[in-house]
């Protein structure tokens, strides 16, 4: 029991430490070499020093936004700084001044650079940056904890929260902070909190577009992470299942943090935050925080014990159900399947692909079946085949054709499925789990992979299994990937599609892009099905560039943890993922 409680105790200790004291640390910074470098004692260096020195004496601006330029002609330094909408004015100026000093230290020779703090953003350049939408460079900061509940519910709640905040932020007006916070009910009895903000120098349309781009990056940068920032020069968004901002009234032009009508549950505030904390003895603050922590600990302990009890009951039920499924009870005699398919006659053959042929059959009781006669390429032993069959049989996924049984006879490996009378899936039998059967890889995104294959087959009018191009013996995915990289992806399109009145090359390119995202080699980089639906339905959602797909010709399993990160955040609690300018 003690080992189970230690993580909770550690978490509570971290919360208490964060409540009392939090040193400001940059979330990330980017030093750009695109616009050139400068040297010491040049006019640009002098102007930059003057700019940084002036930040500590900025006049208080109610919207926390500053646009300052120093110098003229080619050596002019232009800067934009902005504070988060819930930050008080005196804290805002201190944050900007600190950010400026820190940035020139981190980027000592670059003429263009940007730094993000939790409470403010500061950037400078030798080009014009005011009144311009800037979505690059962008960066994402993600927490290390993953949400382990229902994926679809999480993504639906998060998408609804951020889209709602985006719509509110884009209509606030340029005189305001373009800063909106909100919350929504999430899965597993959690509340999701979010905030979005645009710089007030861009239009409402640009604000909406910038935030849409940030939201679109979440599946690839922050998939299922419990807390994340997605930031660019012109906008930022953040979310977490806890309140990480001070309550504010975004309709109030002074943007002073508003006192909440009721105290939020399980929330502790920093000693230096809030007017109510001023003048209160530290001993009273620590006592109150300690009581809150003890209460929170008890609540978490009770919830943890209840959830563990439910999990034990559920595991016991599942174990009982699994005991009813055995390989012996689902084994067919090879001779029975031979008789059912007329000795695998050509008349009963439904199709053939890289994983073997599919035959229609009729059992002695009149039941129609489809028999998959696996090719010798599988090279599985009897025990291994039985174990993998049993695992697949237990899945019974809604997107899979129902698996009825199997047969083993010498080197023969056969799988028996329910027969689909209208042949809607007879050419794709076992394709939803081919990645697992041939390569031993299975995950909740295996059906995403299969969807991507299916889209490519629809666009090309050809099956993936047995596909070969005119120039080489490539499979469909390899052919699509090569043409995509060569910039001639439309070579994939079936000529019949091109003759249709509703044909749109832009839509076809978008579908090819989505399908290649679904079949990427790294499982963690594939989008969820919920994200795929949004990509297909929302034409304004930006799509990321797909990476190398998982080819059938080889197996190259890559663990989710192997994905590389661009820059590491300076705090131990976050990882950073950064993309540079796409010039």
Read off the tokens for 417.
């499925």
Q: Are the C-beta atoms of 549 and 521 separated by less than 8 Å?
A: yes
- 201 closest CA partner among 61, 71, 80, 69: 80
How many angstroms separate the CA atoms of 165 and 180, rounded?
6
DSSP state of 377: G
Question: Cα–Cα distances in Å, from 244 out to 194, 294, 504?
Answer: 9, 21, 44
DSSP state of 467: -
CA 390 vs. chain centroid, Å, equals 32
Give φ, ψ of 570 to 5 degrees. Answer: -80, -10
Q: What angle do CA 51, 55, 60 make, to 5 degrees?
A: 135
- 99 closest CA partner among 160, 27, 3, 14: 27
How many angstroms separate the CA atoms of 249 and 251, rounded?
5
Read off the tokens for 488.
């001639």
Dihedral sign (CA 272, 278, 283, 287): negative
- Token pair 């930040």 is found at 55
Q: What angle do CA 92, 95, 128 make, to 5 degrees?
A: 90
For residue 162, the tally of other CB atoms under 10 A from its CB is: 25
SS3 category, 180: strand
- 541 closest CA partner among 514, 508, 576, 578: 514
How many angstroms separate the CA atoms of 337 and 359, rounded?
10
SS3 category, 59: coil
88 is in an annotated binding site: no
Q: Residues at the annotated binding site for ATP?
A: 372
Q: Residues at the annotated binding site?
A: 372
């Amino acid at each position: 029991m003690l080992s189970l409680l230690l993580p909770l105790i550690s978490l509570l200790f971290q919360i208490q430490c964060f409540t009392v004291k939090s040193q400001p640390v940059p979330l990330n910074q980017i030093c750009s070499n695109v616009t050139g470098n400068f040297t010491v004692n040049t006019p640009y260096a002098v102007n930059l020093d003057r700019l940084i020195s002036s930040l500590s004496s900025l006049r208080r601006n109610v919207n926390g936004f500053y646009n300052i330029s120093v110098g003229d002609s080619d050596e002019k330094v232009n800067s934009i700084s902005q504070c988060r909408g819930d930050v008080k004015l005196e804290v805002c100026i201190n944050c900007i001044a600190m950010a400026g000093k820190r940035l020139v230290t981190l980027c000592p020779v670059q003429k263009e650079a940007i730094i993000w703090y939790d409470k403010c953003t500061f950037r400078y350049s030798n080009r014009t940056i005011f009144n311009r939408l800037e979505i690059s460079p962008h960066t994402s900061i993600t927490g290390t904890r993953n949400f382990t509940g229902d994926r679809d519910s999480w993504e639906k709640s998060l998408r609804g929260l951020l889209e709602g905040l985006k719509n509110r932020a884009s209509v606030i007006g340029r005189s305001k902070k373009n800063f909106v916070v909100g919350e929504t009910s999430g899965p597993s009895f959690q509340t999701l909190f979010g905030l979005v903000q645009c710089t007030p120098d861009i239009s409402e349309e640009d604000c909406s577009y910038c935030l849409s781009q940030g939201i679109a990056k979440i599946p690839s940068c922050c998939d299922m992470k419990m807390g994340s920032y997605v930031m660019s020069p012109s906008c930022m968004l953040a979310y977490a299942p806890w309140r990480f901002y001070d309550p504010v009234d975004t309709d109030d032009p002074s943007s002073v943090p508003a006192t909440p009508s009721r105290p939020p549950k399980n929330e502790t505030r920093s000693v230096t935050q809030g007017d109510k904390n001023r003048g209160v003895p530290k001993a009273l603050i620590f006592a109150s925080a300690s009581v809150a922590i003890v209460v929170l600990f008890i609540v978490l302990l009770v919830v943890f014990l209840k959830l563990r009890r439910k999990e034990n009951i559920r595991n016991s039920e599942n174990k009982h159900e699994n005991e009813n499924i055995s390989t012996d009870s689902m084994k067919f005699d090879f001779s029975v399947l031979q008789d059912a398919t007329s000795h695998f006659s050509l008349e009963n053959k439904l199709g053939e692909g890289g994983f073997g042929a599919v035959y229609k059959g009729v059992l002695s009781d009149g039941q129609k079946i489809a028999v998959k006669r696996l090719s010798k390429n599988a090279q599985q032993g009897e025990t291994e085949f039985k174990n993998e069959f049993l695992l697949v049989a237990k899945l019974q996924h809604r997107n899979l054709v129902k698996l009825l049984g199997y047969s083993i006879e010498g080197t023969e490996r056969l799988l028996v499925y329910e027969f689909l009378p209208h042949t809607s899936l007879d050419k794709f039998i076992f394709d939803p789990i081919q990645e697992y059967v041939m390569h031993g890889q299975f995950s909740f995104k295996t059906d995403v992979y299969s969807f991507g294959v299916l889209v490519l087959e629809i666009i090309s009018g050809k099956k993936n299994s047995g596909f070969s191009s005119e120039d080489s013996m490539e499979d469909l995915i390899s052919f699509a990937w090569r043409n995509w990289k060569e910039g001639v992806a439309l070579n994939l399109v079936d000529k019949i599609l091109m003759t249709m009145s509703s044909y749109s090359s832009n839509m076809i390119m978008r579908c090819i892009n989505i399908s290649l995202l679904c079949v990427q080699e790294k499982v963690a980089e594939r989008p969820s099905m919920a994200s795929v639906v949004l990509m297909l339905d929302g034409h304004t959602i930006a799509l990321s560039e797909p990476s190398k797909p998982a080819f059938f010709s080889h197996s190259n399993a890559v663990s989710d943890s192997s994905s590389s990160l661009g820059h590491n955040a300076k705090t131990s609690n976050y990882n950073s993922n950064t993309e540079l300018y796409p010039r």
